[in-house]
Amino acid sequence: MEGRSATIGPSIHVKGELMGNEDLVIEGRVEGIVRLRDHHLTIGKSATILATLEAKSIRVEGNVQGDVQASERVELATGSSVVGDVTAPRVSIADGARFKGSVDMDKGGPRPSSGSSTPAPAAAVPVGAGKPSGTP
């Protein structure tokens, strides 16, 4: 099945769980879940997605509302819009892409052992936290 890909055209509307064993390009509307764990997923410019996305790599050119998870890479192209959390070891957000959510680039990666000398990651601190009152 290497090299095969499918396309959901701009006039197609899918609701439910979408799974497959080939690369997929979505130009239509999908609501639910898209799972292509070992394949590439492209959300085209005309696509509207209200779904959780899971794939090997995901390129977003259109609009996504939902969490985006890839085992290799997530790319948000210029003009794309994502509202949801992004999880992948590599994340690229192009100038002109709109994004609202969180990015986690650590999930699924190797963890240091308890005896490791690698320092623990710093805790997230809200902007302005820790300033004495009256400090500009």
Domain count for the chain = 1
pTM: 0.77
User: Angle CA(4)–CA(49)–CA(20) in degrees, nearest 5?
Assistant: 30
Q: What is the pLDDT of residues 76-114, one digit of tens each?
A: 999 999 999 999 999 999 999 999 999 999 865 444 444
* 116 within some domain: no
* 128 within some domain: no
The conformation of residue 109, written as its DSSP 8-state character, comes to: S
Residues of the chain where predicted confidence (pLDDT) is lower than 50:
1, 109-136
Judging by beta carbons within 10 Å of its beta carbon (0-12, 13-18, 19+), is residue 22 exposed, middle or buried? middle
* 123 within some domain: no
Rounded Cα gap, residues 77 and 96, in angstroms: 8
Residue 30's domain comprises 5-99
Residues 6+ apart with CB under 8 A from 35: 17, 18, 19, 54, 55
What letter represents residue 78's amino acid?
Answer: T
Does residue 33 come out as left (phi exceeding 0), alpha (psi in the -120 to 50 range) or beta?
beta
* 61 within some domain: yes
* 86 within some domain: yes
